[in-house]
């Protein structure tokens, strides 16, 4: 236990050092934005990982909450000229409220049926974004979202925004870690391993599943908020079914039930398409091949797989 939390502390420190160094050394605006996207995707994967990796409940509609976060802040800041810092809690609360309403009937389902239920929800929300043009701007998107400012500090520069997003990511990682190590985290993992047994020991599984669903919606909405104020323009296409699938893929590739898995999965899935541009028309083929090989050779995801390789290499010299 102590050993484990030491590991995490080292990892947090390493992350801080990496973030600060990167912020200082990277000056190319495109690279900074890419790294910021990794941070936003990490938030998405982290939220879904709490639901999928720990509680074992799948959601194929998480892009909806991502979109709800982005559209809420867009509508509030542009149509109503509300400060983004007030729009942030509103975005998160609305996503949580919707998650609660959707979660009550949906989380009674399990396995494939839960997948279908959340998939349907995601599609409905996507269609709403596209068709409710009076409010959302419809298929042509929503323009003119203001940049974030905090007193004299403007986050319109790529570097400041990069620091902001990664500070939030770090905080979120720590919060998730704390939840997982608490009574609630044990309860979540027990649902994953056996819902009947979890109930037998007195875990209120229904309530706990709903809570973690709402929590993961909150993380997605936070990511949506950060996304909207990063790119100033949002359109329904960003929050479609494919995005939901991509978040699930980040969780699975990175490693379920691991907060660092969310980080690794998000990094790989954000960077891969950029690296693969040179393959032009074969891009998607190579992309698919890489994901397939990760799953074949590291079926537990990157985190577990890399740890296994590390442990094996440590054992080698003894032989």
Name the site residues for another protein (rule: CB under 8 A).
1, 183, 186-187, 189-190, 193-194, 196-204
**CA-to-CA separations, 248 to 168, 253, 310, in angstroms, rounded:** 21, 9, 26
What is the spatial distance between Cα 60 and Cα 115, in angstroms, rounded to a whole number? 6
Which uninterrupted H or E stretch holds 178? helix 158-180
Least distance (Å) between residue 103 CB and another protein = 18
Residue 152 in tokens: 């004299």
Nearer Cβ to another protein (88/259): 259
Beta-bridge mates of residue 234: 142
3-state helix, strand, coil in the chain (%, to 5): 80, 0, 15
What is the spatial distance between Cα 270 and Cα 263, in angstroms, rounded to a whole number? 11
Least distance (Å) between residue 56 CB and another protein = 11
Least distance (Å) between residue 298 CB and another protein = 18
Nearer Cβ to another protein (194/288): 194
Cα–Cα nearest to 161, from 9, 29, 48: 29
Least distance (Å) between residue 311 CB and another protein = 15
Nearer Cβ to another protein (183/314): 183
Which uninterrupted H or E stretch holds 75? helix 62-79
Least distance (Å) between residue 7 CB and another protein = 14
Least distance (Å) between residue 197 CB and another protein = 4
Beta-bridge mates of residue 153: 150
Query: Is the distance from CB of 66 to CB of 227 less than 8 angstroms?
Result: yes
């Amino acid at each position: 236990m102590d050993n484990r939390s030491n590991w995490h502390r080292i990892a947090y420190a390493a992350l801080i050092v990496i973030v600060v160094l990167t912020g200082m050394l990277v000056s190319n605006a495109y690279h900074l934005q890419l790294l910021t996207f990794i941070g936003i995707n990490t938030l998405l994967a982290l939220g879904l990982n709490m639901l999928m990796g720990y509680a074992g409940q799948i959601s194929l509609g998480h892009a909806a909450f991502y979109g709800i976060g982005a559209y809420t802040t867009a509508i509030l800041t542009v149509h109503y000229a509300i400060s983004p810092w007030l729009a942030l809690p509103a975005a998160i609360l609305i996503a949580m409220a919707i998650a609660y309403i959707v979660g009550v009937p949906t989380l009674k389902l399990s396995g494939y049926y839960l997948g279908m239920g959340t998939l349907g929800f995601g599609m409905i929300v996507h269609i709403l974004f596209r068709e409710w043009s009076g409010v959302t701007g419809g298929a042509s998107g929503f323009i003119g979202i203001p940049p974030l400012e905090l007193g004299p500090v403007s986050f319109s520069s790529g570097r400041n925004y990069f620091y902001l997003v990664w500070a939030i990511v770090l905080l979120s990682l720590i919060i998730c870690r704390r939840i997982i190590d608490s009574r609630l985290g044990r309860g979540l993992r027990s649902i994953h391993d056996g819902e009947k047994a979890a109930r037998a020991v007195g875990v209120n599984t229904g309530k706990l599943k709903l809570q973690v669903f709402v929590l993961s919606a909150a993380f997605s909405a936070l990511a949506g908020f950060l996304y909207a104020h990063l790119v100033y323009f949002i359109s329904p296409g960003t929050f479609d079914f494919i995005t939901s699938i991509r978040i699930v893929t980040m969780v699975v590739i990175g490693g379920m039930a691991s907060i660092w898995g969310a980080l690794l999965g998000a990094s790989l899935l954000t960077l891969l398409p950029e690296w693969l541009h040179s393959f032009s028309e074969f891009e998607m083929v190579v992309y698919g091949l890489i994901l397939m090989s990760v799953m074949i050779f590291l079926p537990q995801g990157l985190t577990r797989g890399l740890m296994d390789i590390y442990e094996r290499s440590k054992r080698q010299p003894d032989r």
